[in-house]
Every structure is written in C-alpha cells, then in structure tokens.
Amino acid sequence: MNFSGPVESVHRNIKRIHIFGIISDQSYIFGHIYRMTFDGWVFASGFIVALGLIAAIGAQNAHVLRQGIAGHRVSESVFVCIVCDTLLMSAGVYGMGTLLAQWPSLETIALWGGALFLFGYGGLCFRAALKFQALDTAGRVVTGFWPALATMFGITLLNPHVYLDTLVLIGGIGAQYAPADRASFTLGAVSASWVWFFALGYGARLLRPWFENPRAWQVLDVAIGCLMWVLGLTLLL
C-alpha cells in the first residue's frame, strides 16, 4: 500500500499547525510588548503634566508668540524649543529612573515629592487665575538666522525654571511609572511640547487675541489647576 499521500498530508498539517503556532506566539508576544510599552493613560498623564508646565506666562512663550505674530524666524524658534524640551524631558525621566533603580529609598521621596508638586502647582494655577493677567507680546522681533537661534537658546537654556520643570519635576513624576511605561510618559510630555510650540508659533496671529485676553488665561489656569490635582491624587492612589 502507498502511504505517501496520507503521510504528506499529515506533514502538511503539522507544518501548518507549527507555523500557526509560531505566528500565534509571536502575535501574543508582540501584543504583550505593545501593551507593556504604550499606555494611553500614562501618555495622557505625561501630556497634561508637560502642557501644564509649558503653557504658562513666561519669556519663552512671549518670544515665540512675538516671532509668530511678526512672521520672522518662526521655524527656528519653534525648533529650538521642541529640541531642548525633547532632550531635557527624556534625560529627566530616564535619568531619574536610573537614580531610583540604584537607590530604591528615593522612590518614596520622589513619589510624595511629585504629588506635592502637582498639588502645589495646581494651587499656584488657581492663584494665577485671580491675578487677571495676560501674555505681553510687545518687544523686539529678531530677524536674523543666527541671532534668532542664539536668542531662543539663551531664553530656553539660561532659564533655571527649564531645568526644574524638565529634569526634576517631569523626570521625577515620570520615574514613578514602571520602566516599561516611561516611554509612554515621555512621549506624552514631548508631544505636549511639540503641539504647544507649533500652535503658538504658526498660529500666533490667530491666537493673539486669545493670549492677550486675561479671561482666557483665567480659564486655562483653572483647567490646568484641576488637572494637576487629579494627577496628584492618581499618583498617590
């Protein structure tokens, strides 16, 4: 009797099962990795925390808005802001994560420190809402390429609050998440910087009435304050 037909059929079925098993295993593995490395809530938390820090009345925002209204060296100004934020935020999250891995006792300090910061910053936002102030866009417009880069780097990197916000505060909060979730938090924080500065620079002429309206800043400050308090609670719970 010739068993070659049934044997070949069995071999084909075994190969199909084997291949299907490999594909299934790989799909499970890659799906599991995806779930571990990207979390929508963690991404949103990073986005909100960073946006709350970036969207504040200050020299950096005023300069970008001023350049955008005038239409001079907008790309250079936006580029410097997002590159500096991307590097500093990434260094903050993963640098703090490395410190916490080496000194686990710092985790509790960083946890409570991050929560206290969020509550404190939220309180400052509510306080700022009572001041009824707007962003001042009056000032000198930079037109040259190298002067534009030098001015923007100076405003960004010579400001001590930049390092406090990115390296210490965002880094400390991001380091509270599991190592697999830190990429999601960092991506969210960096995305907030990109969205904010692109909107501020290229939408400056449309946004000018809004930014010069104190009532709009009141609404923004109250909204950010509420979000900061919610994130502070979720960090402790």
Q: Say whether both 127 and 197 belong to one domain.
A: yes
Question: Nearest 10 degrees: CA dihedral of 67, 73, 77, 79?
Answer: 140
Task: Summarize pLDDT for 155-174 with one digit per residue, the tens.
Answer: 888 877 788 788 888 988 88
Lowest-pLDDT range, 107-116, 136-145, 228-237? 136-145
- Please determine, for residue 70, whether its predicted confidence score (pLDDT) is greater than 60: yes
Do 130 and 57 have their domain in common? yes
Domain that holds residue 13: 1-37
Is 87 in the same domain as 191?
yes
* Shared domain check, 148 and 212: yes
CB atoms within 10 A of CB 58: 14
Terminal alpha carbon distance of the chain:
72
49 and 21 in one domain? no
138 in the same domain as 81? yes
Same domain, 12 and 50: no
Per-residue pLDDT at 176: 83
pTM equals: 0.67
User: Are 24 and 134 members of one domain?
Assistant: no
What's the total number of domains in the chain?
2
- Say whether both 15 and 93 belong to one domain: no
pLDDT tens, position by position, 119-128: 887 888 788 7
